[in-house]
Amino acid sequence: MPLARLLRFFSNPARFFLRERLGVSLGGPEKALLNTEPFVVDGLDRYLLCQKLLEWKLAGKDLAGAYPLVRGMGLLPHGAGGECAYEEIRLGVEDFAMRLRKTVGAESSWEMELDETLEGFHLTGKVSELYGTALVHYRQARAKGRDHLLLWLRHLALTCGDTPQITQSILLTRDGCWTYGVLPGARKLLAAYLELYLEGLRRPLPFFPESSYSFARELLVEGKGESGAIEKAATAWRGDQYRRAESDEPHYQTCFGNVDPLGETFQELALKVYGPLLEIQKKIG
């Protein structure tokens, strides 16, 4: 089984069940087509612009002189507003590039072919974002539960053999840096995630990467108790003025729209998936 398939499942088990088992594809919210000029650079446009500028910076391009090119993409406001917006974004990218270089050192990126058999599964696939003996994933955005989980699954896949392929995995985002070290029980842990994958082929699982992460982290790391953890998860699920509701995702609506899914099974799954991750996770910046 391709490792990418396992990652796709844990990204959204409800979507995976509907598409892979029932052949139902609901797509996602379409981004409105705007005919007006942008007044701010925000959301997905900002993220994609930051990623492009980081790519240019790592390739040695001078970002200070790239404003006319970026302006031509139509992502910036006209005049002084556009120049100010670009300068703010450029400085953020320059800072992130410095943090990334400090993290990976002088190592160049490389990739490897995964070939691992366990519990009746033959995991294969190409793993990239390798630097020296570390797996490094970076995003110029705030860290999400999904970021931690997908890195963690790749980490387990690379360290579950008799000879671990890496010594650590690192997640670098705009709001922090986390590391995961090699642990002796990686093979057993990965097998448990594969069992959840099989269960998720039989029925949609009430596992939601952000709400589940909020619950597990509040309970296991912050020590707020079950009621506080449920309240935190409910905020992620229903949304507030600071974040979009995870429950708005159409596949979640189809599978769980008529019930409150944050019950006992949700809590058990959140701890089963994120518990081992949070136990070994270390924030270093």
Binning the chain into helix, strand and coil, the percentages to the nearest 5 are 55, 15, 30
Strand ranges, E, within the chain? 109-118, 121-131, 134-138, 168-173, 176-181, 282-283
pLDDT tens string 129-164: 999 999 999 999 999 999 999 999 999 999 999 899
Alpha carbon distance 67, 93 (integer Å): 13
Please determine, for residue 39, whether its predicted confidence score (pLDDT) is greater than 70: no
Q: How confident is the model at residue 36 (pLDDT cuts 50, 70, 90)?
A: very low
Q: How confident is the model at residue 27 (pLDDT cuts 50, 70, 90)?
A: low
Summarize the confidence of residues 171-179 as an average pLDDT.
Answer: 96
Alpha carbon distance 5, 285 (integer Å): 31
Single-letter amino acid code for the residue at 102? K
For the chain, the C-alpha Rg in angstroms (whole number) is: 20
- CB-based contact 131:137 (threshold 8 Å): no
Please determine, for residue 279, whether its predicted confidence score (pLDDT) is greater than 80: yes
pLDDT of residue 30: 39
Query: pLDDT: is 72 or 140 the higher one?
Result: 140
Q: Among the listed ranges 2-11, 57-66, 123-132, 260-269, which one has the minimum average pLDDT value?
A: 57-66
Single-letter amino acid code for the residue at 90? R
Cα 108 to chain center, whole Å? 23
Q: What is the edge-to-edge ordering of all strands in the sheet holding 109-118?
A: 109-118, 121-131, 134-138, 168-173, 176-181, 282-283
